[in-house]
Amino acid sequence: MQVIADNLHIIRPEIQAAVEKKNAGPIRDLVNQCITAGADGIDINSGPLSRDPEGTMTFLVETVEQVTDRPILIDTTNPTAIRAGLKAAGNRVIINGISPEPVKLGHILPLAAEFDVPVIGYLLNEAGHVPGSEAEGYDIALALLKAAESAGLPRERLMIDPIVAPLMWESGTAHNRDIIALIRSLPDVLGYPVKTIAGVSNLTTGDAPAPKKRLMEAAFLPMLADAGLDMALLNVFHEDTVRLARACEALTRGELFSWAAIP
């Protein structure tokens, strides 16, 4: 299980200010800290970028690449910004991502096909809600696969994000049990070794004491790892969570004595 930093987010005031002034320093510093903390990749969450999507995404991608050659996730639904990011990037890129709304599929899937990059499909229904059952999740995944293939994207390029629900939600716990089952079964259901990614920080969105949030994160992450999750999108400044992800990797995919390499 790789660890992808979700820290580079436009809602952080210092990042928003740096983006507005095209000031690379604070962004480089943050990305440097993420790499030091163990990030295997960086999610660039730029939001919708209604103003200057091309210039902003180009600036963000170029700034991140000044620090690291690890993969970048372009996290926006703005196709103009995505195209600019794909053109600017030298690192490996993943588009994050698409929900099954026809407009978004129509704009973004062709970009993934044109640039031959992976794209993350969200298991959300057309109303933008999480599915009400495990079965509905498979239906959405199959619809995303069909749309991807129709757009000329090889199936191996479609990744799935089953969408972790906040525990605060009334049905959050039940939904999160469904997504564990989904992650485990999607390769069989879709018929190829589909890669999966999950936003672990979503689990503890809302108002609760920090130690309790970390505890629930620590209980959930190994379950995701055991189900076969490929990438965990999380706050890499949660040092214990990153360490736990390494331990999970040693237990779930490790070769002989690989746990011995854990610091």
Quick one: which of 55, 106, 212, 239 contacts its own copies (CB under 8 A)? 212
Q: Hey, what are 49's tokens?
A: 């970028």
Is 65 a residue that touches its own copies (CB under 8 A)?
no
Residues 6+ apart with CB under 8 A from 91: 64, 65, 68, 69, 70, 71, 72
| Least distance (Å) between residue 256 CB and its own copies | 6
| Least distance (Å) between residue 119 CB and its own copies | 29
Residues 6+ apart with CB under 8 A from 166: 172, 202, 203, 204, 205, 206
Using the rule CB under 8 A, give the single segment among 44-52, 96-104, 127-135, 168-176 that binds its own copies.
168-176
What is the Cα–Cα distance from 17 to 214, expressed in whole angstroms? 29
Cβ neighbours around 193 below 10 Å, total: 12
Quick one: which of 103, 171, 188, 193 contacts its own copies (CB under 8 A)? 171
Is 243 a residue that touches its own copies (CB under 8 A)?
yes
Using the rule CB under 8 A, give the single segment among 30-38, 110-118, 127-135, 240-248 that binds its own copies.
240-248
Q: Which is nearer to its own copies, 110 or 254 (CB)?
A: 254
Using the rule CB under 8 A, give the single segment among 57-65, 70-78, 113-121, 251-259 that binds its own copies.
251-259
* Binding residues with its own copies: total (CB under 8 A): 34
| Least distance (Å) between residue 238 CB and its own copies | 14
What is the Cα–Cα distance from 212 to 123, expressed in whole angstroms? 27
What is the Cα–Cα distance from 219 to 57, expressed in whole angstroms? 35
Quick one: which of 173, 191, 192, 193 contacts its own copies (CB under 8 A)? 173
Using the 8-state DSSP alphabet, how is residue 156 labeled?
G
Cβ neighbours around 120 below 10 Å, total: 22
Is 230 a residue that touches its own copies (CB under 8 A)?
no
Contact 144, 112 (CB under 8 A): no
Using the rule CB under 8 A, give the single segment among 11-19, 67-75, 228-236, 248-256 that binds its own copies.
248-256
Q: Hey, what are 104's tokens?
A: 């978004």
Contact 237, 200 (CB under 8 A): no
Cβ neighbours around 102 below 10 Å, total: 9
Q: Which of residues 28-57 bind its own copies (CB under 8 A)?
A: none
Quick one: which of 45, 46, 176, 202 contacts its own copies (CB under 8 A)? 176
Q: Hey, what are 199's tokens?
A: 């936003």
Quick one: which of 105, 227, 231, 236 contacts its own copies (CB under 8 A)? 227
Binding positions for its own copies, rule: CB under 8 A: 167, 170-171, 173, 176-177, 180, 212, 215-216, 218-223, 225-227, 243-244, 247-248, 250-252, 254-259, 262-263
